[in-house]
Amino acid sequence: MSARPPILELRKVSMDFGGLHVISELDLQVDEGEIVSVIGPNGAGKTTLFNLVTGVYRPTEGDILLDGKSLVGLPPHVIAKRGVGRTFQTLRLFLNMTVKENVMAPAWAHTRSGVLSSILRTPRMRREEREISRLAEEKLAFFGQRLMGYRWNQPAYSLSYANRRRLEIARATALKPRILLLDEPAAGMNPAETHEITELVGKLRTEGGYTILVIEHDMHVVEGISDRVVALDHGVKIAEGSFEEVATNDRVVEAYLGASATTTK
């Protein structure tokens, strides 16, 4: 790789809840323009990894660097502003706000109008509002016709499940993030929608220019999108490499299927 620092780097990160070691001495690097998948059985620590990077939890040990600068100890909204956008495994949209407002809300990161200029509606504040509005429309347009037109002014709770997942991705991209963390984007989708998500993640990189770290259970999706796959089990990295390397790795098969599966293979 080049001499530039990786976009996201985890150095020997550990996370304990009481005596439970959820993440142990995890090293991870994500380079610019890469799509890295994190796989692992339930309870492997995948979502905890996302919570550590976004500042929901503070790691017990180790360091997390974004563009070479440490994120450890920063509050979540500062980390988000630095350029970490994420979606949630269990959707957490602002359900009673409109579709467009959902995407406009994260633009807090790159607007500055204060209370007084908002009350007085100064020209600068109105210009910012127009820019946010255009940004939101642009991010929503990324999803084709699905989140366009009359849907902008619909409350988010009125969207179908698949469209809510798309809206979460749109909301995260409105942060203009350096790295996008997608937590199971294909969870609960039907086969056609899953296929579409696979294409969408690719498109996020090629057209959107995002670097992506993604948690996914669906191996078709993982195979379709990943440059590199990282397998976790009980908070320990057990394999890393291309999809074929990881999928055929004995320890990965063992983690998913149990010890006897590897011996009878």
Residues in contact with another protein by CB under 8 A are 54, 56, 75-77, 80-81, 86, 88, 92-97, 101, 104-109, 111, 113, 115, 118-121, 125, 128-129, 132, 144-146, 151, 154-155, 157-160, 162-163, 171-172, 175, 191-193, 195-196, 220
C-alpha span between 215 and 200 (Å, rounded):
15
Q: Shortest Cβ distance from residue 34 to another protein (Å)?
A: 22
- The number of angstroms, rounded, from the C-alpha of 219 to the middle of its chain's C-alpha atoms is 18
Nearer to another protein, 13 or 172 (CB): 172
Both tokens assigned to 119: 């009350």
C-alpha span between 159 and 167 (Å, rounded):
9
Nearer to another protein, 33 or 73 (CB): 73
Count of CB atoms situated within 10 Å of the CB of 34: 19
Q: Shortest Cβ distance from residue 186 to another protein (Å)?
A: 12
Nearer to another protein, 70 or 158 (CB): 158
Nearer to another protein, 175 or 214 (CB): 175
Q: Shortest Cβ distance from residue 208 to another protein (Å)?
A: 18
Nearer to another protein, 24 or 198 (CB): 198
Nearer to another protein, 61 or 101 (CB): 101
From the number of C-beta atoms within 10 Å of its C-beta (0-12, 13-18, 19+), residue 183 rates as buried
Q: Which residue has the tokens 């809510």?
A: 164
Cα dihedral 117→118→120→126 (10° resolution): 90
C-alpha span between 182 and 197 (Å, rounded):
11
Q: Shortest Cβ distance from residue 182 to another protein (Å)?
A: 13
Q: Shortest Cβ distance from residue 79 to another protein (Å)?
A: 8
CB contact at 8 A, 136 and 103: yes
Q: Shortest Cβ distance from residue 81 to another protein (Å)?
A: 5
